[in-house]
Structure 1
Amino acid sequence: MPAKISFLKLSVGLALSMSVTTIYAQDHLTLWYDKPATKWVEALPIGNGRIGAMVFGGIKNDRVQFNEETLWTGYPRNYNKQGAYKYLDTIRGLLFAGKQKQAEELAGKEFMGLKSNEGNRDAWLKKVQAILQLKSNPSQPGYNDASWKTMAVPHYEGWETQGFEGMDGAVWFRYQFDLPPKWNGKDLKLDINKIADQDFTYINGVLVGSQANADARNYVIPASALKVGKNSIAILVINFTGKGGVMGYKDVSNHIGVYPVNEAVSQKLSLNGQWKYFIQDTDVPAVGQYQAAYQPFGDLNFVFDVDESAVADYRRTLDIANARATTAYTYKGTTFLREYIVSAPNQALGVHFTASRNKSISFTAELSSPHKSNNVKRVNGSTVSLEVKVKDGALNGVSYLSIRATGGLVLVKENKIVVTGADEVAAWLSANTNYRNFKDVTANPSQLALASLNKLKSKSWQQVNDAHVKEYQSYFNTFSIRLGHNNASRSTLTTDRRLNEFALNNNDPDFVALYLQYGRYLLISSSRPGTRPANLQGIWNDLLSPPWGSKYTTNINAEMNYWPSDLLNVSATQQPLFEMIRELSVSGTETAKQYYDAPGWVLHHNTDLWRGTAAINASNHGIWITGGAWLCDHLWQHYLYTQNNRFLKDTAYPLMKGAAEFFSAFLVKDPKTGYLISTPSNSPEHGGLVAGPTMDHQIIRNLFKSTIEASSILKTDEAFRKKLEVQYSQIAPNTIGRYGQLQEWMQDVDDTTDKHRHVSHLWAVYPGSEINWEQTPDMIKAARQSLLYRGDAATGWSLGWKINLWARFLDGDHTYKLIQMLLSPVKGGAGSYPNLFDAHPPFQIDGNFGGAAGIGEMLLQSHTRYIDILPALPSALPDGEVKGLKARGGFELSIKWSRGVLQAVSVKSLAGRPLQLRYKDHAVNMSTEKNRTYQFNGSLQQQ
């Protein structure tokens, strides 16, 4: 080793010479792995609220996939159908008459939002099919396809998995099979199952079938089209958007194939294999969409000349205490370390390369993007840029990659940055788009991205990293948690193995603490003041057609993202959510007018970057009107936690009032019961379009109650307050059904065998508080009975919701059982991926946030008049200490317990409000002084 070496390099070498046990037994805030990520859900997430990245930590090729939060499809537009309210009374009348199907049909035709502009699909299809007029064309058996490439068929997740991410268009596939002599003269069934999304299927030049839907393809091949020996299959696949190709079966053991009609499917001749393909046309017309989709930006790849078989001591980590990922290994006697951060103060992604020997760092850095419209070019001798444009949308983006090295050589060659023989290297990547706000796309992305990069020129890696850590820890270090005693044997397991072990044996309390802190880390990393809110995948997405558009689903998922915010002391992460609510109130005002002829504002079950508020997708689940009212509860809860009257006056109350004005006008008298009810609506994604779903009434009552209270606190709008008080008492109440369950609808039609993932009618238990053990014991028992009928099995986010519900039911052991289910490896159903991302499946981040909030809810609850200490402590967590939990009323608590018994409580009064504290049979009622801390023992005796 050279005599002259930096302390950092020396520390790397020393750390890697230590035992793994020593290193990781000391660190309870680290995810770590002993191999690189090969899948996206194995990579490690970093982010600053605006830029997100997934770090793979590869040895020969280290992929860093990155996002910028404002890169979406779509453009500013009007989402609302003008004058739709003219059909409102008719739809209501049909529902009151019990004609649900007719109501859904009319609503689907006249009451949905507008789609974006459509291209001329018929003209394009005509152009594509003109190839069939040629004498020699791809449908013919003798067509010369020798120059065609091959692709594995089928591909259930789409041809995107075969390297064609983002490709839409017309693609020909060809394959040959030998017809067994015994099948000669027989009609055959061609079983291809799914094709996305239209096909024209030929056998020996004869068209045997064509469909333009998502249904299975089971075509009959007439014997006259077949011959003994080689037979040609040619399929023209048309894909306008999303996944494309011959998808086949999700169950890979079930092959596509052919077999004689009227004979057993077991006789099927498999057609799985390498098919030849030819891309005919990718210039597809625009497809109308109700709402936009979040997009990936690009990939940064570092390519190394390394013999992987000679690598030792590989470690890949995510340090959530410092918001830093690392990759480290030893190669031919040299220890290499890469550190990855996304700095909020400097608005850039950074990668730092060091080594234990000078002149050891050599690699090539490349930028690329899945967007069809992208361009990489040289800027100067150490900088390249990536320009992208979203297909059929208004947004474009620019990213700059600049590399600074100490020692060695840096040059740009073929639009790639080549580093040779450096001692130390810092790579900086900035990224911006032309998005200003949901109505304005006139920003200059190049100017913004370049400005971030220029600010880094005079700063060392250490300076940038120090500022990054200080800013991040200002959010993260407000809270700490320890569960159980240090278990070195568990701590030394890689995180993926630890996940496996926890699913089998839950004797790893510290893993639960890590999961909670990981949820806080993800929220801070995807939602900072001044950014956009965390979407369905936070800020991380690698697909041009992500699941559910990676939008904001406001019938549970977007709200669940922020359940941990106040309770787990990361309140500042809600600022982007509050700003989005303000923007939604603007677009929602027009939706309220056009669809309901009502004042105020309304939001249905989804929104996007452009703040669409109209109903989308289908009338049986898209027409759900309480998204805005639910979001308003986040405003009210934040006030309850902080007691900030300025926030209530300037931000929360005006938005709450606007939502309440809408529902004051929207509610209608039920002709059978006389109650005020919500209609048309649905119990989210369950049961179709109805009159009077229980969840709606719970949320509307909650909105009215909080608006009434806020109005009283602010001493304003007395007449409106009194109007809401009258209407509040007239809303249809919660009802217990014939099975002892809380009814999901006004009618007693719940099915005890129904296992639906949504448990919407339990909203008033959590996140609401109308149903609780203090005031409504019979109703909370009925709610618990409903959840018992639904069962424990669920999608990932649904598990997150159920965890919080069982905590509110005060059943700690049942709560912990569901935590163990959430922290289980994904095996076709819900659980956690190796990087601990929540699996719906696929990945949705709401389960991470819901699970983190649920762990906190076991330790402290404050939704009734009392602050309850350890209300749902499970037997699996007998020992622990938590500092920084927040409670409603403006309190911050630290709690310590041992052998399942409370030892001490510290309460800081942040607002000087009266304190009502309870632990089991012990209770304290006392006045407090602002900013004073009070100490109590396990019996709540003040110390």
Structure 2
Amino acid sequence: MDKIWYQQPAELWEEHALPIGNGRLGGMVFGGIERERIQFNEETLFTGRPARIEGAPYQELNQIREYLKLKQYVAAYRHAEREFLKPASYGDESDFGMYQNFGEVLVEMEHPEGKVTDYLRELDLDEALARVSYRCEEQEFYREYFSSCPDNVMVMRFRCSKPNALNMKVHLVSAQAGAIISYDQAESRITMNGSMTNLAYEAQIRVATKGGTIEAINDALLIREADEVMLLLSAATDYDASRESFRGKDYTSFNRSFLDQAGEKSFHDLLGAHVIDYQQLYKRVELKIDGLDNNHLPTDERLRRYREGEYDVGLESLLFQYGRYLLISSSRPGNLPANLQGIWNNSNNPMWGSMFCYNINFNMNYWHAESTNLTECHAPMIDFIDRLRPSGRLSAKAFFNASGWFTAKKSDIWGFTQPYAAAVNGLFIGGAGWLCEDVWQVYCFNLDRAYLVETAYPIMKESAEFYLDYLTENEEGQLVSSPSTSPENEFVVNGQICTVSDGCEMDHRIVESLFRNCLKACDILGIHDEFRAELERALPKVAPVRLGRYGQIQEWEHDWDDPEDQHRHVSQLFGLHPASLISPTRTPELAEGAKVVLNCRGDQGTGWSRAWKVNLWSRLQDGNRAYKLIRGTLEELTFDNLFNVHPPFQIDGNFGLTAGIAEMLLQSEFEGCIDLLPALPDVWESGYVRGLRAQGGYTVDLRWEQGGRLIHADFYGESGKRGKLRSGNDLVEFQLNEQGCYTYRTNVLI
């Protein structure tokens, strides 16, 4: 079983507490003995409001381009920040929303005097269930915690081996100023109401006991002599993404309805429905790497030994599954997508607002959604992207006088899409195009024609229309993205630090990939119109990948790269991953240029940066280098609760590592080859993986033996479907049989 476990309560939220979630409602379990804390969040509790665009910033665009044409990069940068991106262009900077801490459930426990022994705190990934147990004198105490998607409530149960032995106070504590909390003895309910400048919110707890009494006192519900206590929690705001105002949800009725329905069910019925719902996602994929597996040790002890050189491959496969668990727990259909911290946040001023960030972080959250068989969890992201389009049209017109839709680097739940100062962060041109990469990938893995017609193609087409308007011709007649920035990095010209350029590699590969994907969609849908013709004219003119003076893929149109630069972003390698424009087999010279970049940037960096490099080295089919980065991340940038560290905690690192491990085992391209074990490291000598997904609608199982030799691969999908696979030097065309199956064995075809 996949478990994370400890022999002591959590002390620190970020490093020790255990996450539970149902996509909407998240909790962090501390497991305190005398005083239990469950910190909780609800996905819509954000500050901010819909931002306003004032004036016509696009009128300053030509001046920036003129400076760039004259190679006056400092002047271009200054004009961009002072005139084009000035705050007056997009209203009050404080409009941008920050994810908020909702509050805590506090439970004060009474115990017999005596020593506490046999303490256990665990998170069972197989059931998405947190547990705490311990012994005090002759009594055994048990707790279970989960956040149920089917019943839409958080469930907490407390038990004791001795009858009538549970005595506790239950408090609800707000993390927001001004909240009103009431304790209703008659309904065994606690209610917390409040409002911010932009939202109203409420949390409710419904208490059910077996035996004992419940009494409302000053700031708690007092429970005496119960056999069992079950707490049901719901929280909500009046945020409604379907309305133009983003407001109007009846959150009180919402909370009461779900709590009352859940309150009619037993704990076992609630848990059973939760486990069935969760496991139909989680159990699709299984990874077993043969070798040392210290699962008999507490997780913090496993990490300590790992850092001392006891390389526990079981911990590596656990980390892979943990990324899947976290996505299932923070991204479910009908809800908001996972933000920078998933749905878990204990601050009202979290780093970077715990926002949605489009120059790598939000995108990385979903890299493993399709490959590790969690396409349903991808849906909130696609819905969110679709909802950005109305705001994105306004930003495209106001800032660039362009058609289509645009978004820069970041957003909140209010649909922020504008560029903003400082330019090094906020003048990112590739946001919408990068988001479209996910929109297309959903189709590639699932081949859902209705989705392509109704959702994917309209989003992609409208984004491509923006870039068709935005791109300009340079002196060579090539289309470049100008003005442009390479995410969060700087270049030096004539001894001066600059950020705004006349073209960068990331933008160009984003545009190239988007145009190619739109044309593929046109082929599939039989579209032959003027839009397609425009794409066919523009695509060959998009600025190509350029190799610089030391053999590197250039980050900018000009050879400004510094070989000593170890910046955390590796933006110039977008074409290698997440796009599939560069590969060792199809473009070997460019693949070598990518290696030069990665060797110069090194193997250090933030958690998410190392995760990106795992994926990049996997695409370059260097499993040992990818594995070195995984090992370094576990040694240096992983907390005891396995949260990945930016620092601080940022969930994209967890998600990116899971995606990277999947890439090491299986890679695929739409209408291309499926590569089996393309980047298997030497230390993973034998093992198996079941349930990975490949583009083209395939599910794949793999088993390999000593020395990393593939034994067999099983493919599942639509009967009669044809495809191509690569295993080492073998390149094989195959067809699924009438049962929708095909088995490949090394040198033996069945």
Shorter-chain TM-score tier: over 0.9
Aligned pair 1:358/2:332, yes or no?
A: no
CA distance in 2, matches of 1:306, 1:789: 59
- Distance in 2, matches of 1:308 and 1:110, equals 69
Give, in whole Å, the separation in 2 of the partners of 1:835 and 1:519. Answer: 12
How far apart are the structure 1 equivalents of 2:411 and 2:327? Answer: 19
| Aligned residue number for residue 214 of structure 1 | none
**Cα distance, 1:355 vs structure 2:** 1.6
- Corresponding position of 1:405: 209
C-alpha contact (below 8 Å) 1:407/1:423 kept by paired residues: yes
CA contact (8 A) 1:386 1:398 kept: yes
Give CA-to-partner distance per residue, 1:455-498, whole Å, 9 cap, x none.
Answer: 122110111111111111121111111111464xx112111121
Runs of 4+ in 1 over 4 A off after TM superposition: 113-118
Task: Report the TM-score when normalising by structure 1.
Answer: 0.76
CA distance in 2, matches of 1:504, 1:814: 20
The correspondence of residues 927-938 of structure 1 with structure 2, limited to 5 A, is 927-928=735-736, 932-938=740-746
Q: Distance in 2 between matches of 1:651 and 1:677?
A: 28
Among 44, 47, 50, the alignment partner of 2:24 is 50
Alpha carbons of structure 1 residues 295 and 910: separation in structure 2 relative to 1, 3 Å:
farther
Q: Which runs of 5+ in 2 are unaligned?
A: 491-498
Equivalent residue number for residue 677 of structure 1: 480
**1:88 maps to which of 54, 61, 73:** 61
Q: Match of 1:919?
A: 727
Q: Does the residue aligned with 2:583 lie in a helix, a strand or coil?
A: coil
Q: Shift in Å at residue 620 of structure 1?
A: 2.8
Residues in 2 aligned to 1:932 and 1:746: alpha-carbon distance in whole angstroms: 48
Change (3 A) 1:387 1:775: same
Output aligned runs, 1:154-303, within 5 Å.
288-289=93-94, 291-303=96-108
Q: TM-score, normalization: structure 2?
A: 0.96
Answer yes or no: is 1:107 the counterpart of 2:80. yes
Q: How does 1:386-785 map to 2 (within 5 A)?
A: 386-390=192-196, 393-437=197-241, 439-485=245-291, 487=293, 490-505=294-309, 507-670=311-474, 672-687=475-490, 688-785=499-596
- Could you say which structure has the larger radius of gyration? 1
- Separation (CA, whole Å) in 2 of partners of 1:500 and 1:816: 19
Q: Secondary structure at the residue paired with 1:690? A: coil
Cα deviation digits, residues 901-939 of structure 1 (max 9, x gap):
111111012475321011101221033357611122233
2:142 maps to 1:337: yes
Check conservation: 1:527, 1:573, Cα contact below 8 A: yes
2:719, 2:741 within 8 Å by CA — same for their partners in 1? no
Partner of 1:156: none
Percentage identity across aligned positions? 38
Q: In 2 relative to 1, CA 908–621 (structure 1 residues): closer, same or farther, beyond 3 Å? A: same
> How far apart in 2 are the matches of 1:562 and 1:308?
49
Q: SS state of the match for residue 689, structure 1?
A: coil
Query: Residue 883 of structure 1 corresponds to which residue in structure 2?
Result: 690
Looking at structure 2, the residues matched to 913 and 679 of structure 1 have their Cα atoms a distance apart, in angstroms, of 44
Change (3 A) 1:114 1:911: farther
Question: How far apart in 1 are the matches of 2:29 and 2:595?
Answer: 42
Give, as a single letter, the amino acid of the residue that structure 2 aligns with 1:73. T
For the pair 1:837 / 2:643, whether they are aligned, the reply is yes
Does structure 1 retain, via aligned residues, the 8 Å contact 2:51–2:96? no
Per the TM alignment, residue 288 of structure 1 is displaced from its structure 2 partner at its CA by 4.0
SS at match of 2:191: strand
CA spacing shift, 1:315–1:288, aligned 2, 3 Å: same
Asked whether the equivalents of residues 47 and 341 of structure 1 are also in contact (C-alpha less than 8 Å), the reply is yes
Deviation at 1:389, TM superposition (A): 2.3
Write out per-residue CA displacement over residues 279-315 of structure 1, whole angstroms, 9 at most, x where no aligned residue.
Answer: xxxxxxxx84252101111110111134796100000
* Residue 861 (structure 1) aligns with: 667
Q: Could you tell me how far apart the structure 1 residues matched to 2:90 and 2:743 are? A: 63
Q: Deviations over 1:773-820 (max 9, x none)?
A: 122100010111111000000100001100101111111111111001
The 1:467/1:907 distance shift into structure 2, 3 A limit, reads: same
Q: 2:79 aligns to what SS in structure 1?
A: helix
Amino acid at match of 2:394: E
Cα RMSD (Å): 1.7
Aligned equivalents of 1:717, 1:656: Cα separation in 2: 16
- Which secondary structure does the structure 2 equivalent of 1:824 belong to? helix
Q: Which moved more, 1:350-359 or 1:616-625?
A: 616-625
Q: C-alpha separation between the residues in 2 aligned to 1:521 and 1:288?
A: 35
CA distance in 1, matches of 2:665, 2:329: 25
Aligned match of 1:237: none
Shift of 1:114: 4.9
1:276 matched to which residue of 2? Answer: none
Query: Structure 2 matches for 1:894-909, cutoff 5 A?
Result: 894-899=701-706, 900-909=708-717
Aligned length: 736
Residue 30 in 1 paired to residue 3 in 2? yes
Kindly indicate whether residue 50 of structure 2 is the aligned counterpart of residue 62 of structure 1: no
CA change 1:942–1:411 in 2 (3 A) is farther
CA distances 1:229-281 after superposition (whole Å, capped 9, x unpaired): xxxxxxxxxxxxxxxxxxxxxxxxxxxxxxxxxxxxxxxxxxxxxxxxxxxxx
Opposite residue 26 of structure 2, the aligned amino acid is G
Q: Specify the code of the residue in structure 2 equivalent to 1:47.
A: G
Q: CA deviation at 1:113?
A: 7.1
Answer yes or no: is the 8 Å Cα contact 1:434–1:443 preserved in 2.
yes
Give 1:77 shift: 3.9
Question: 8 Å contact 1:115–1:288 — kept in the other structure?
Answer: no
Could you tell me how far 1:843 is from its partner in structure 2?
0.7
Q: What is the rounded CA distance, in whole Å, between the counterparts of 2:93 and 2:476 in structure 1? A: 42
Q: How many Å separate the matches in 2 of 1:579 and 1:473?
A: 24
Following TM superposition, by how much is the alpha carbon of 1:401 offset from its aligned partner in structure 2, in angstroms? 0.9
Mapped to 2, the partners of 1:930 and 1:630 lie a distance apart of 38
